[in-house]
């Protein structure tokens, strides 16, 4: 027998150890995946805290219809919901963003993104609604569960409200979808409205009435939408009941006196409603029912870009000595005109031009004065010319910017940091007016409108003058850029008519079928197992 040398002995020992090590390390569970840096629905929706986190995403989905950095909509598209292409205004380049109806078709990106953003919101709501019923969830109480579900159902209704008025009947999705689904079919408009009412009734019954700062959903928010939807389904009494539930709540009242941060500056009550920091109910604002939230320099605090969209492109104005006439500053920021308001919104809609507070010099900038000290013409008023009127100089509704409060001088992307009203009390009176009108009660309808006109120091409207058009005019005077104008007009059946009447650009291209937007072609293409029928007139 050959003697093994010491080297070999050492090495053999090492190799045996190695061999043992590698055979032992074979593990059955080696291939099991355990995510370590992201949550799954299963380990999230187990108690109220997880569901609350789900709700936070829904608030952000909601704010996504007005503020940048959200799931899908791009900046210029917000105005489609708030008035682009209807009686309010058009996009300066006409064709995009639904301002020229002749080029609107099912390939339109804006049409697609509204669809997607609504359905993403429905997805986020459905996850909560479905999983809340899971037996394993550790609810403290039925109330706790219902309040969370109520918020999710409000948001679902909110999304369906946009869908149904934009596109007509759309697929109703009642539950979380966990496997690819390719056979969506459209439900009828009536079914969708009924579905919205179902959700909102639940929300109204289960949301808390308490509304400390207007940042979160409360019963009043649900009642507001409920009132609107009852009107749409011609349930006038139910609408009035819902509206009165808000007005009867002592938390809510119109702001008729000066308040808030800037109340010592010259101004008026309406102006105070839109100053930076004055939306929060803690500022004394009793009019706010719900506002999308913004906060300067806080992660997740992105605000609306309304200043950039609604204001004239002032930076193009020049002094006679060839200098910049209006400096970009903390007062007006940097508007660039994504929406050019119609002449009707400029002046035509004001039936009491001189007295209406909402048309005061604080609330509407109609004259622009050269504020560049370097110019010899400093302090001169800039003349309106055909050259500057279209885009560079037209009335600027100052609610769209937080005047005098742009933090770093101005933001070139037009970012704002004020909260943006979803619902405020003024709108409740207008809904009531509509409901009374639905019941042919012009007297009461006029009374509701006159509450607002009284606050605005405007002349009272005579009951005989109140018709749906007058209400729509008044809504514009009161809620310009706050109400979802396209929805209001579609709901009242006035979209095409009023667009033709007031919008010199979009009005020449709109046809009756444009009342509805097309169903996005990519959705039709991807839905391979059933047909999503296209709206008439589009192909």
Partner 1 sequence: MKKKLLCFERKLYQFLSTKPMKIMKLSLGLLLFTVLQAWAVDSYSQSTELSLDMDNVSIENALKTIEAKSEFFFLYSSKMIDVNQKIDLLAENQLIDAVLDQMLAETDIEYIVKDRQIVLTTQEMINSFESLQPLTITGTITDDTGEPLPGVNILIKGTTTGSISDRDGNYSIDVPSAEAVLVFSYIGYSVNEIAVGNQTSIDVTLQYDAIGLEEVIAVGYGTRRKSDLTGNITRVKTAQTIDLPNTNVLQALKGSVAGLSVGTPDRPGESPSLRIRGMNSISANNTPLIVLDGIIYSGSLNNISVGDVESVDVLKDASAAAVYGSRSANGVLLITTKKGITEKPVFNFNASYGMSNPVSMVPMLNPDQYLQKILDFRESIGLEADPANIHDYLTITESNNLTAGKTLDWMDEIIQPASAQNYNLSVSGRTNKTNYFISGSYNATEGIVENDDFERITARVNFSNKITDWFTVSLKSSFSNRDYSGRAVANTWGLSPYSNYYVDGADSGELEEYPMEDPLYRHPYMYLEIDDYDVRTDLWGVLSSEIKVPFIDGLKWTLNYSLNQRIRNAYSFTDNRIAKTQNGSAYKQIYNNFDWTLDNIFNYYKVFNDVHSVDATFLVSREYQQYSYTGAFATDFFSQILGYNSLQLGVVPSVESNYGDQNQTALMGRLNYVFNNKYAITGTVRRDGFSGFAEGNKYANFYSGAFAWTLSNEAFMQGISWLNLLKLRLSYGENGNQAIGMYQTLARMSTRQYVFGDGGGTSTGVYVSSMANNTLGWETSKVMNLGLDFGIANNLLYGSIDIYNSDTEDLLLERNIPATSGFSYVWSNIGKVNNKGIEVSLNSTPVKSKDFTWNIGVVFDLNRNSIVSLYGADEDGDGIEDDDISNRWFIGEPLGVHYGYDIDGIHQTDDSEIPAGYVPGDFRIVDYDGDGDLTAEDRFILGYNVPNYQFSIVNDFKYKNWSLYVMINSIQGGGNNYYMGNNMYSHNPNQPMSSWTERFSFPYMDYWTPTNPSNTASRINYDAPRPHPYLEDRSFVRIQDVTLSYSLDSKLLNKVNVEGLRLYISGKNLYTFTKWTGFDPENATTVWSYPMMRTFTFGLDLKF
Q: Which of residues 6-65 bind partner 1 (CB under 8 A)?
A: 7-8, 11, 15, 18, 22, 25, 30-33, 35-41, 44, 50, 53-61, 63
| Cβ neighbourhood burial of 43 (10 Å; 0-12, 13-18, 19+) | exposed
CA distance 390 to 350: 20
Sign of CA dihedral 122, 482, 487, 78: negative
Exposed e or buried b per residue across 258-284, where buried means at least 16 C-beta atoms within 10 angstroms of its C-beta: ebbebbeeebbbbbbbbbbbbbbbebe
In whole angstroms, how close is the CB of 165 to partner 1 at the nearest point?
A: 17
* Helix (H), strand (E) at residue 502: helix 495-502
- Span interacting with partner 1, options 97-105, 251-259, 457-465, 496-504, rule CB under 8 A: 97-105
CA distance 497 to 184: 32
Does position 301 interact with partner 1 (CB under 8 A)? The reply is yes
Does position 529 interact with partner 1 (CB under 8 A)? The reply is yes
- For the segment 323-362, give every residue that binds partner 1 (CB under 8 A): 323-324, 328, 334
Does position 297 interact with partner 1 (CB under 8 A)? The reply is yes
CA distance 150 to 490: 27
Question: Which member of 13, 17, 95, 210 binds partner 1 (CB under 8 A)?
Answer: 95
- For the segment 388-447, give every residue that binds partner 1 (CB under 8 A): 390, 407-409, 411-413, 415, 419
Greatest pairwise CA separation for the chain in angstroms:
124
The conformational region for residue 199 under phi > 0 = left, psi -120 to 50 = alpha, else beta, is alpha
In whole angstroms, how close is the CB of 174 to partner 1 at the nearest point?
A: 13
In whole angstroms, how close is the CB of 80 to partner 1 at the nearest point?
A: 15
- For the segment 218-277, give every residue that binds partner 1 (CB under 8 A): 277
In whole angstroms, how close is the CB of 120 to partner 1 at the nearest point?
A: 6
Question: Which member of 84, 110, 126, 503 binds partner 1 (CB under 8 A)?
Answer: 126
- Span interacting with partner 1, options 115-123, 225-233, 248-256, 437-445, rule CB under 8 A: 115-123
Angle (deg, nearest 10), helices 189-206 and 142-167: 150
Question: Which member of 282, 355, 381, 533 binds partner 1 (CB under 8 A)?
Answer: 282
- For the segment 154-193, give every residue that binds partner 1 (CB under 8 A): 171, 173, 176-182, 184
User: Are 79 and 339 spatial neighbours (Cβ–Cβ below 8 Å)?
Assistant: yes
Does position 499 interact with partner 1 (CB under 8 A)? The reply is no
DSSP conformation letters of 279-303: SSGGGT--SEEEEE---TTSTT---
From residue 63 to residue 82, the character string flagging contacts with partner 1 as x (rule: CB under 8 A) and all else as - is: x-------------------
Select 462 or 530, whichever has its Cβ closest to partner 1.
530
In whole angstroms, how close is the CB of 50 to partner 1 at the nearest point?
A: 8
CA separation, residue 498 to residues 66, 179, 250, 431, 536 (Å):
24, 44, 37, 19, 21
In whole angstroms, how close is the CB of 148 to partner 1 at the nearest point?
A: 13
CA distance 202 to 208: 12
Does position 141 interact with partner 1 (CB under 8 A)? The reply is no
Select 183 or 361, whichever has its Cβ closest to partner 1.
183
């Amino acid at each position: 027998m050959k003697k093994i040398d010491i080297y070999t002995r050492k090495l053999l020992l090492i190799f045996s150890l190695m061999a043992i090590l590698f055979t032992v390390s074979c593990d059955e569970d080696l291939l099991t995946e355990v995510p370590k840096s992201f949550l799954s629905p299963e380990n999230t929706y187990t108690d109220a805290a997880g569901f609350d986190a789900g709700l936070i995403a829904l608030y952000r989905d909601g704010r996504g219809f007005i503020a940048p950095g959200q799931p899908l909509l791009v900046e210029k598209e917000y105005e489609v919901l708030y008035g682009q292409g209807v009686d309010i205004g058009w996009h300066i380049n006409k064709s995009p963003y639904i301002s020229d109806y002749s080029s609107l078709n099912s390939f339109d990106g804006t049409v697609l993104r509204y669809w997607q953003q609504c359905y993403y919101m429905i997805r986020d709501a459905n996850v909560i609604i479905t999983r809340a019923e899971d037996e394993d969830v550790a609810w403290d109480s039925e109330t706790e569960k219902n309040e969370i579900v109520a918020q999710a159902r409000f948001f679902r209704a909110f999304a369906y409200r946009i869908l149904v008025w934009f596109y007509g009947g759309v697929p109703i999705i009642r539950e979380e979808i966990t496997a690819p689904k390719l056979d969506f079919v459209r439900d009828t408009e009536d079914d969708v409205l009924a579905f919205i009412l179902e959700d909102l009734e639940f929300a109204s019954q289960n949301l808390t009435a308490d509304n400390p700062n207007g940042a979160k959903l409360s019963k009043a928010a649900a009642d507001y939408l409920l009132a609107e939807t009852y009107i749409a389904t011609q349930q006038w009494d139910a609408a009035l009941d819902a509206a009165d539930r808000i007005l009867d709540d002592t938390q809510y009242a119109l702001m008729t006196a000066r308040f808030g941060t800037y109340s010592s500056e010259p101004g008026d009550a309406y102006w105070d409603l839109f100053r930076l920091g004055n939306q929060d109910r803690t500022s004394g604002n009793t009019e706010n029912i719900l506002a999308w939230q913004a906060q300067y320099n806080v992660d997740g605090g992105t605000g609306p870009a309304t200043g950039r969209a609604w204001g004239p492109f002032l930076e193009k104005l020049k002094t006679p000595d060839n200098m910049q006439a209006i400096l970009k500053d903390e007062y007006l920021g940097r508007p660039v005109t994504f929406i050019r308001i119609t002449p009707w919104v400029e002046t035509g809609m004001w039936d009491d031009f001189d007295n209406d507070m909402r048309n005061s010099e604080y609330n509407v900038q109609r004259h622009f004065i050269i504020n560049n000290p370097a110019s010899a013409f400093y302090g001169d008023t800039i003349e309106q010319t055909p050259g500057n009127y279209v885009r560079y100089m037209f009335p600027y509704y100052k609610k769209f910017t937080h005047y005098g409060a742009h933090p770093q001088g101005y933001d070139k992307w037009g970012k704002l940091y004020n909260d943006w009203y979803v619902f405020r009390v003024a709108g409740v009176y207008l809904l009531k007016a509509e409901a009374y009108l639905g019941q042919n009660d012009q007297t009461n309808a006029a009374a509701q409108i006159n509450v607002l006109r009284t606050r605005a120091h405007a002349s009272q409207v005579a009951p005989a003058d109140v018709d749906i058009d007058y209400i729509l005019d008044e809504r514009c005077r009161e809620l310009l850029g706050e109400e979802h104008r396209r929805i209001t007009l579609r709901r009242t059946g006035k979209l095409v008519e009023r667009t033709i009447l007031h919008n010199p650009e979009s009005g020449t291209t709109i046809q009756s079928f444009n009342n509805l937007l097309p169903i996005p072609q990519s959705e039709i293409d991807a839905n391979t197992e059933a047909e999503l029928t296209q709206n008439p007139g589009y192909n």
